[in-house]
Structure 1
Amino acid sequence: MLILLLQMGMCFSGAMLKTLFFDIDDTLFDHYNSMQAAFERIYHQTPEFQTRPLPEMHALHKKVLEEVHDLYVIPRLMTLHEARKKRFEILLEQCGTTNGTLAERLKDDYRTTFLESRILLEGTEKLLADLKGKVKIGVISNNSIEEQTEKLQTLGIYDFIDVWVMSGEFGFGKPDPRIYQIALERAGCAAHEAMMIGDDHAKDVEAAQKAGIRAIWLNRFGHPAPSPDVTQITSLADLYALEELQGLLSATEPKR
């Protein structure tokens, strides 16, 4: 296997890699952990939810969260505050209850625990530190710039990021191809000079590939691959073993 080390980057398919784009939630930040911890707390405090088993309610909450975010937050039809309350109104309705006051309280209680339990995915800080200065590091997220800026500042990785592209700026987000074109323009690179890493196969992998960007699927939970040729990893540490990135990371391979 031939690995061509370059002073300022690495080469694959005849092109130097100039920018690595990352999704944020469940790629750098462990959104799943905070979501599970926060929902479990309010589930045990809410008799209306306990008409269904906790795993069933976890799955329903995740589904409603994603639907409300895609339908209302990304196109800027609701603020994050309004969407968070809407999410719990829908969940209560699914359990046979209509109670706006309770939805408001659940929103606040959930948010408190969510913030208290925020952590990075294992290896995030080391990976970004090892990449810093070798390529541009970008983030592409379906969220507001305020929400994600505060999050990465609190988690200690804000200063690693060179390029920010948030759906909240535009009223559209992934998988809309325009978000990837904006990301490439801000990074000052061509599609073949970039790579995207994310946990959502449709939004982070397929959409990036349609924009001509090489993509890596972070599949932490072992979901079936939608296509046999997708490049997937189960943790950020796996990036150190990827042929395409060894020119950047071989000297800083983590101990296992």
Structure 2
Amino acid sequence: MSHNITDVFFDLDHTLWDFDKNSSLTFEMIFKMNDISLNLNDFISIYEPINLKYWKLYREEKVDKVSLRYGRLSDAFKALNITIEDVVINKLAVDYITYLTSYNHIFEGTIELLEYLKPKYNLHIITNGFGEAQQRKLEKSNISHYFKTVTNSEMVGVKKPNPKMFHFALELAKAKKESSIMIGDNYEADVLGALNIGLDAICFNYHKTVITGNVKQVNTLLEIKSLL
């Protein structure tokens, strides 16, 4: 990198915090608690794409938080032809949020990368997640002390890739976009969102999505060490 970077912004879910793994373990736990017997792998394979679809709608302001939490479960059960009463779906939606941070697996290389970056840069989080949940994730996975600022979408009232998210985070961090970089897994929200306002970006492409165009990308977190 030719220019002098001072500030590094990270996405949290799917970038540092291993959302899919923690989410699966949480579902296993809450299904047991609520006496729901189903094949977890079948459920997860149906649920994950539905969840991504809902988060895209949420980013685009087409559904609210409550509809997201209920809809992703309701749609998954429907797709599996499992009949579950609304009252139970609503309880599962709440249980899921309550217990999600019981598990706090982080991606391989997270601590090593943060230890490597911390002496050299100011580190920050920009997340579309919900404030209370994101703070718990950072604390329980023991990485909150690495970050100077945390910007979540509830503080700003919009979500990435909305430019307001990035401008708000830069202001909170007292950082300039010219000397900052964004790292995240979501091409649309994190990478294009950042590049759109002139903020450099690295795509943590662990899901090996085909990305056309000249975008910096890595498949593992530790590869970032060679870019910063």
Partner of 1:153: 139
Report the CA distance between 1:125 and its aligned residue.
1.6
SS at match of 1:21: strand
Question: 2:162: which partner in 1?
Answer: 176
Q: Which residue number in structure 2 is paired with residue 200 of structure 1?
A: 186
Q: Deviations over 1:13-55 (max 9, x none)?
A: 3x321100000001111101112333456779646x66xx945
Distance 1:228 1:72 in 2: 26
- Residue 174 (structure 2) aligns with: 188
**1:180 offset after TM fit, Å?**
0.8
How far 1:108 moved relative to its partner?
A: 5.5
Between the aligned partners of 1:219 and 1:206, the Cα distance in structure 2 is 14
Deviations 1:108-135 (A, max 9, x none): 5655764333211112122212222421
> Secondary structure of 1:16's partner?
coil
Q: Which runs of 5 or more structure 2 residues have no equivalent in the other structure? A: none
Sort the Cα spacing of 1:135 and 1:63 in 2 relative to 1 into closer, same or farther, 3 A.
Answer: same
Compute the TM-score of the two structures, normalised by the length of structure 1: 0.75
Aligned-pair Cα RMSD in Å: 2.8
- Whether the 8 Å contact between 1:41 and 1:110 is mirrored in structure 2 is no
Residue matched to 2:124: 138
Q: 2:108 aligns with which of 122, 141, 147?
A: 122
CA contact (8 A) 2:46 2:79 kept: no
Cα distance, 1:191 vs structure 2: 1.5
For the residue of structure 2 that corresponds to 1:178, the secondary structure is helix
Q: State the identity as a percent.
A: 27
Which secondary structure does the structure 2 equivalent of 1:173 belong to?
A: coil
How far off its partner does 1:76 sit?
10
CA distance in 2 between counterparts of 1:111 and 1:172 reads 21
Deviates more, 1:186-195 or 1:82-91: 82-91
Tell me the SS of whatever aligns to 2:126.
strand
Largest Rg, 1 or 2: 1
Q: Label 1:148 to 1:113 Cα distance change in 2 as closer, same or farther (>3 A).
A: closer
User: Against the structure 1 CA distance between its residues 176 and 101, is the aligned structure 2 distance closer, same or farther, given a 3 Å change threshold?
Assistant: same
Q: CA deviation at 1:144?
A: 2.2
Q: 1:137 to 1:203 in 2, by over 3 A?
A: same
Q: 1:158 Cα shift? A: 0.8
Give the number of aligned pairs: 225
Displacement, 1:104? 3.3
Preserved CA contact (<8 Å) 2:73 2:89? yes
Partner of residue 225, structure 2: 240
Q: 1:20–1:137: 8 Å Cα contact kept in structure 2?
A: yes
**Alignment partners' CA distance in 2, 1:112 and 1:187:** 29
Residue in structure 1 matching 2:79, options 71, 74, 94: 94
Q: 1:164 Cα shift?
A: 1.4
Q: Which residue of 2 aligns with 1:27?
A: 15
SS where residue 137 of structure 1 aligns?
strand
SS of aligned partner of 1:156: coil
User: Matched residue of 1:232: which SS?
Assistant: strand
How far apart are the structure 2 equivalents of 1:107 and 1:144?
14
Q: Give ranges in structure 1 of 5+ residues lacking alignment.
A: 1-11, 246-256
